[in-house]
Amino acid sequence: MSTSPSSDGFADLVLHNGRVFTQERVPSRAEAVAVLGKRIVFVGDDRGAAAFIGPQTRVIDLAGQMVLPAFVDAHMHPVHGAWRHAFCLSLFGVSGDDLKQAYLNETARFVQTHPETPWIEGAGFRRAAFDDIGPRREWLDAIDAERPVTILSKDGHSLWVNSRAMAIAGITAQTPDPANGVIKRDPATGEPAGLLQEAAMQMVRPHIPRPTKGQVKAALLWLQQWLNREGITTALDAILEMDEPEVAQAYHELALEGLLTVRYRGAWRIMPEGDFQADIDRALTLARQFDTPHFRTDVFKFFADEVIEEETAYLLTPYAHRRDGWRGLKDWDEDDLLDAFDRVHRAGGQVHVHTIGDGAVHYVLDVLETLQAKIGSVLRDRRPVLAHLQLVHPEDFKRMAAMGVTALIAPYWSIIDDYFWEFYVDYLGREQAFHHQYPQKSFLESGVNLAFHSDFSVVEPDSMRALYSAVTRRIPQRVFDRHYGRNPAYRYVAESGTHLSYGDIGALPPEEECLDLEEALQAYTLGGAYANFLERDLGSVTVGKLADLVVVDRNLYEIPIDDIPQARVVMTLFEGRVVFEDDGTLPKGVRPPLPE
- Write out pLDDT tens, residues 538-555: 999 999 999 999 999 999
pLDDT at 3: 60
Q: Do 168 and 308 fall into the same domain?
A: no
Does 331 map to a domain?
A: yes
Q: Do 553 and 462 fall into the same domain?
A: no
Does 196 map to a domain?
A: yes
Residue 323 has pLDDT above 80, yes or no: yes
Q: Which residue, among 147, 23, 174, has the nearest Cα to 557 in the 3D structure?
A: 23
Binning pLDDT at 50, 70 and 90, where does residue 181 land?
confident
pLDDT at 589: 62
Range 361-389 average pLDDT: 96
Range 423-432 average pLDDT: 96
Range 287-316 average pLDDT: 95
Residue, of 534 and 129, whose pLDDT is higher: 534
Binning pLDDT at 50, 70 and 90, where does residue 498 land?
confident
Range 101-110 average pLDDT: 94
pLDDT at 1: 62
pLDDT at 350: 97
For residues 145 and 111, the answer to whether their CB atoms sit within 8 Å is no
Q: Do 62 and 143 fall into the same domain?
A: no
Residues of the domain holding 421: 304-515
Residue 4 has pLDDT above 60, yes or no: no
Domain boundary among 149, 181, 207: 207
Does 221 map to a domain?
A: no
Per DSSP, 2 falls in state: B
Largest CA distance in the chain: 81
For residues 414 and 437, the answer to whether their CB atoms sit within 8 Å is yes
Range 134-159 average pLDDT: 93
Residue 590 has pLDDT above 80, yes or no: no
What are the percentages of helix, strand and coil residues in the chain, rounded to 5? Answer: 35, 20, 45
Residue 19 has pLDDT above 60, yes or no: yes
Q: Do 51 and 132 fall into the same domain?
A: no
Least confident of 258-267, 510-519, 525-534, 575-584: 575-584
Percent of the chain with pLDDT over 70: 96
CA distance 180 to 157: 11
- What is the helix (H) or strand (E) element at residue 344, kind and residue range? helix 334-346
Residue 93 has pLDDT above 90, yes or no: no
Residue 6 has pLDDT above 60, yes or no: no
pLDDT at 28: 84
Range 18-23 average pLDDT: 95
Q: Do 127 and 170 fall into the same domain?
A: yes
Q: Do 490 and 361 fall into the same domain?
A: yes
Residue 384 belongs to a domain with what CATH number?
3.20.20.140
Parallel/antiparallel/unpaired status of strands 406-409 and 450-452: parallel
Does 2 map to a domain?
A: no
Q: Do 441 and 331 fall into the same domain?
A: yes
pLDDT at 72: 98
Q: Do 381 and 340 fall into the same domain?
A: yes
pLDDT at 238: 98
Does 291 map to a domain?
A: no
Give the orientation angle of helix 78-86 with respect to helix 245-256, to 10 degrees: 100
Residue, of 17 and 123, whose pLDDT is higher: 17
Percent of the chain with pLDDT over 90: 83
CA distance 90 to 152: 10
Q: Residues 508-512: contacts with CB within 8 Å, 24+ apart?
A: 508/414, 508/415, 508/416, 508/420, 508/437, 508/438, 508/473, 508/474, 509/434, 509/435, 509/473, 510/435, 511/473, 512/441
Residue 155 has pLDDT above 90, yes or no: no
CA distance 557 to 554: 9
Residue 46 belongs to a domain with what CATH number?
2.30.40.10
Does 213 map to a domain?
A: no
Does 412 map to a domain?
A: yes
For residues 249 and 213, the answer to whether their CB atoms sit within 8 Å is yes
Q: Do 338 and 481 fall into the same domain?
A: yes
Q: Do 510 and 542 fall into the same domain?
A: no
Binning pLDDT at 50, 70 and 90, where does residue 132 land?
confident
Range 55-83 average pLDDT: 96
Please give the C-alpha separations between residue 343 and each of 266, 281, 360, 379, 530, in angstroms, as whole numbers: 18, 8, 21, 12, 23
How many degrees, rounded to 5, is the angle at CA 550 between CA 545 and CA 554? 135
Domain boundary among 167, 189, 207: 207
Residue 143 has pLDDT above 80, yes or no: yes
Residue 504 has pLDDT above 90, yes or no: yes
Q: How many domains does the chain fold into?
A: 3
Confidence (pTM): 0.91
Q: Do 487 and 343 fall into the same domain?
A: yes
pLDDT at 86: 83
Does 430 map to a domain?
A: yes
Give Cβ neighbours of residue 9 (< 8 Å, ≥ 6 apart). 51, 52, 54
pLDDT at 111: 95
Residue 200 belongs to a domain with what CATH number?
3.10.310.70
| 3-state SS, one letter per residue, for 141-165 | HCCCCCCCEEEEECCCCEEEECHHH
Residue 171 has pLDDT above 90, yes or no: yes
Q: Do 116 and 150 fall into the same domain?
A: yes
Domain boundary among 145, 176, 207: 207
